[in-house]
Structure 1
Amino acid sequence: MYNILSIDTTTNICYIGLYYNNNLFKFSRKYNFNYLDKILYDIDYFLFKNNISIKNINIIVCICGPGDFTSTKIGICICHGLSFGIDIPIIKINSLEILAYSSYLYFNKKNNIISMINGYSKLIYWSEFYISRKNICISKFKVIKFTYLCDIIKYINKFDNEYIISGNAYTNHINKFLDNKNILFSKIKVQKIEDVISLSLKLISLNKFSNFKKVLPIY
């Protein structure tokens, strides 16, 4: 039986998920990026509150970014420490991947899905995904792209595909997409803990584990 602890510190809100004995427990708190003072206490209290020992966790799920530089690195370091300290494997998921998976569940369509997250200096992290026969997200790019919105629009307009767009980077610019009739806008703006766990279970079934040394932050 899989007992999973997921940790996501990529934004100013910390999301912790716990899948234990087929039950899902969720925790979130707004930290305003002040993670060092609180997150270890909150993980410990969250487990204690649900009467679960860290020794009973057998898989760590790490959301590795893109996200804030410092908070993402803190979350990954905690995942590294837990994986090494209690000798359990890690499943790594990036933020764009889980947004794409949530959008797939929302629309129940295996369209081309573009996930977009605000970066810095008006640049946007984005990637395009398709849903495999195993119902997991596969990126069409080898690396996450980091470009301006106009470059994403040019990319979309090159093809006559129907796209689903998710994330927080398009909401203030919907009018720029209106000329393209093949776009569905997802309401999914942030990662959902239940979808992180759902995708994790699929990745576990496919043995998609990572050595903790290879789980690196995406900034």
Structure 2
Amino acid sequence: MKFADRTAAGRVLAEALETGVWVDPLVLGLARGGLPVAHEVALSLGAELDVAVARKIGAPGHPEFGVGAVTAGGEPIFDAHALRTSGLTPEDLSSTCEAERREARRRLDVYRSGRAVRVTGRDVLIVDDGLATGVTARAALREAREAGPRRLVLAVPVGATQSLRHLGTEADLVVCPHERVDFRSVGRFYRRFDQTTDAEVLALLEQHRHD
């Protein structure tokens, strides 16, 4: 199974969510790749669309190997297994964590331009293009939880079975139309998986506000 692109994946995910009953829904696309998916979900549900930002904390010398994640305002979270495998402690990653927190703040400033987003009392759906380790999704879910949503949902078009199970302790509901044991990477489930740019994120947010 492969999606043509993130827009196609978003439509599949939206169909899986259409049967739900949503109270004042807010769809937060996990920047950046989650925004095209979240855009389709928000259109389908008639929901407000905005952005969530969580940054991966990479191992020293191997930034692509995520051992944790951090948001603009929340506490960093770490994958205990990844830390053990790498022989690292959270203290070893403090400077990397702060750099990623600064980047998360920068992105929020760019994407929201000072706009406040109301989360309290709403059904909040955190949407991404897929779920591998789930560390960035976990950070985003915890930050959203602190704002007091009525219900907190994680929604992805495809995800690793084990990670989906683990995040069931963070979200009130996890929705994933295509759950896979043999996951490996998100990109292998897409025919087109180009990097989403800041400009594309801003265009989608602007388009939604005028629809």
TM-score range, shorter chain: 0.3 to 0.5
> What TM-score do the two structures reach when normalised by structure 1?
0.32
> What TM-score do the two structures reach when normalised by structure 2?
0.33
Higher RCO (CA-CA < 8 Å; seq separation 6+)? 2
Structure with higher Rg: it is: 1
